[in-house]
Structure 1
């Protein structure tokens, strides 16, 4: 169907866009928020609205994931290959993060605290790996090493990965049963979730008792909005005026509309428009470091805080970025990129 106006489908190039740059920006927002929160201080945005920098970062990741993973299913059309691709993208870097955090992180913390290594700690280290190996964080800390900190978890960023992988699988099965081939049922299912989210005090406890907080219940909302934008890519009007209106409405919504938030739709429009118009569209040629930044920054902040150096939150942001980018660089070049070569083999096996 042709439209008398330009749509995102006309302008969005899957192979040449600024999504890589956007993910780096979103990862930086998460670092900023955690640098404040782990210091026991609200970040500047949370002092004036219902949301903080870290939430925008995480929500943006989930919106982009919903958008991109829907496209991945469209290009794959096989639940086995689709699942293997998602496993290859998430698990190898996650496992390496668990191992490095367990042994290198523990070593550094022991040195900082001036305490001795014990067999009991070793058992806790092994438990940290075995209990968390399938993405669900059943053991958040190791032997009480971080008990003196504001946040006891050694890596409080990892909890979202299990939900993200769950949404990948739900989307894959939706594709398997043919739901994604039709716009109406896809949008209807996501709309039902959003409405139940609104009607249950933003906790979605009507259908899903496991969702006990708005922090968790909003994630399917974000992912679902990304899916909607993908299936309607050729119908959504591409307009600078709508982009500017979305920015204004996003700001208004996060400040004044807590009970029935609409900002995920505005944020999705903003991100998609920026992915077309921002420069540095080839930044991913140097590597996709956003995942590594996300999974490594939290333990680095925790270790820095254990030194009791009394850095301000903004100083902590700057100090955290350097080792985080270094580990993200190593993760991409020695774990993620080699693993992604398996995805290429999967594509060739079709």
Structure 2
């Protein structure tokens, strides 16, 4: 595969795919946030296994694994790599955290006075550790009272940035067959014990996350990394992509194999689409304004606020309005927060992105 086809934003469709995945998360959440009934969700009704939102998050982590592995290999130093990762995740997250806590919270019936003293310090610590904001009394009458329930994936994303750095320092990324073996081991554990739960000490879980989430999401991330590391060996062909798509759909009927199937066969389809599918008018989405991260971060609070204000809103109207408002907020986040901080690296605008989604370069 041509190197420029891998790294150049104008030559791949990662921007379009990230925005699509963020919108699919909103679509998936729209019926369930209304009354807690997931059974109306489209993909759940079709296959009875995973939701569109889970499929989208899996896609985010596949893309992230690809681009973050590339970012490690193209960074001149470990410090440069880490600076890129911090500047991409933290500024947008911190602003979204504060808006969710201090603006959305009171509008949702939350009590800002409850943040005085130690509770406020705990929220500050949660923000620095990329946790979800919490405010007493907010959204208490809704099926999902979280201020920003989508934020839970961000800390896993950042953990995998650090894991990639560790694997790079240990030389595992340079030895792609060792990386392949590690990924296969993760996949075997994931398939054999899909809901593995181990009681970890609080401090350990704070660093590593919940075991079953860590294994599942890191396996997806590493699969994306494999598509990058073996990019010179992978033949992308439309007929193979069609076969992989059919195989993915068949595996979606299996609760145990649905997401591992998405990681392998769905991953092939995803990267074929990104690099080889025929360009169209939608392919240029996200080329100039990377709104996908902000779109993802602001959708949940916007949706819950709309539900709190209009209890009888339909899922489709909720989806349409919340997508439009979250897109505006995502654009503002990019223009006013994310891009200015990315320019601190002294390299101008950064144009590749990750799974939550945040930029890879």
Task: Please indicate the TM-score interval, normalised by the length of the shorter structure.
Answer: 0.7 to 0.9
Q: CA RMSD in A?
A: 2.7
Which segment is superposed worse, 295-304 or 43-52?
43-52
Q: Match for residue 108 of structure 1?
A: 107
**Residue-by-residue CA offset, 1:51-71 (whole Å, 9 max, x unaligned):** 111001111000000000011
**Shift of residue 295 of structure 1?**
0.6
* Partner of residue 312 from structure 2, selected from 287, 310, 313: 310
1:166 aligns with 2:159: yes
Runs of 5+ unmatched residues, structure 2: 350-361
| Alpha-carbon distance in structure 2 between the residues aligned to 1:343 and 1:320 | 33
Aligned residues of 2:112 and 2:135 also touching (Cα < 8 A): no
Runs of 5+ unmatched residues, structure 1: 1-7
**Shift of residue 140 of structure 1?**
4.5
Q: Aligned ranges for residues 191-340 of structure 1 at < 5 Å?
A: 191-203=184-196, 214-256=212-254, 258=256, 261-276=260-275, 277=277, 278-279=279-280, 280-340=282-342
Q: 1:73 to 1:51 in 2, by over 3 A?
A: same
Q: Match for residue 357 of structure 2?
A: none
Q: 1:11 to 1:46 in 2, by over 3 A?
A: farther
Q: Given the two structures, how large is their TM-score scaled by the length of structure 1?
A: 0.87
* Partner of residue 341 from structure 1, selected from 328, 340, 343: 343
Q: 1:205 to 1:77 in 2, by over 3 A?
A: farther
1:31 aligns with 2:29: no
Aligned residues of 1:79 and 1:172 also touching (Cα < 8 A): yes
Q: Match for residue 75 of structure 1?
A: 74
| Alpha-carbon distance in structure 2 between the residues aligned to 1:224 and 1:281 | 26
Q: Match for residue 15 of structure 2?
A: 20
Q: 1:287 to 1:341 in 2, by over 3 A?
A: same
1:41 aligns with 2:58: no
Q: 1:345 to 1:237 in 2, by over 3 A?
A: closer
Aligned length: 334
Q: 1:159 to 1:124 in 2, by over 3 A?
A: farther
| Alpha-carbon distance in structure 2 between the residues aligned to 1:205 and 1:246 | 34
* Partner of residue 119 from structure 1, selected from 113, 120, 124: 113
Which segment is superposed worse, 8-17 or 231-240?
8-17
Q: Given the two structures, how large is their TM-score scaled by the length of structure 2?
A: 0.85
| Alpha-carbon distance in structure 1 between the residues aligned to 2:165 and 2:158 | 11
Which segment is superposed worse, 331-340 or 143-152?
143-152
Q: Match for residue 150 of structure 1?
A: 143
Aligned residues of 1:62 and 1:222 also touching (Cα < 8 A): yes
Q: 1:118 to 1:281 in 2, by over 3 A?
A: closer
| Alpha-carbon distance in structure 2 between the residues aligned to 1:11 and 1:82 | 20
- Matched residue of 1:258: which SS? coil
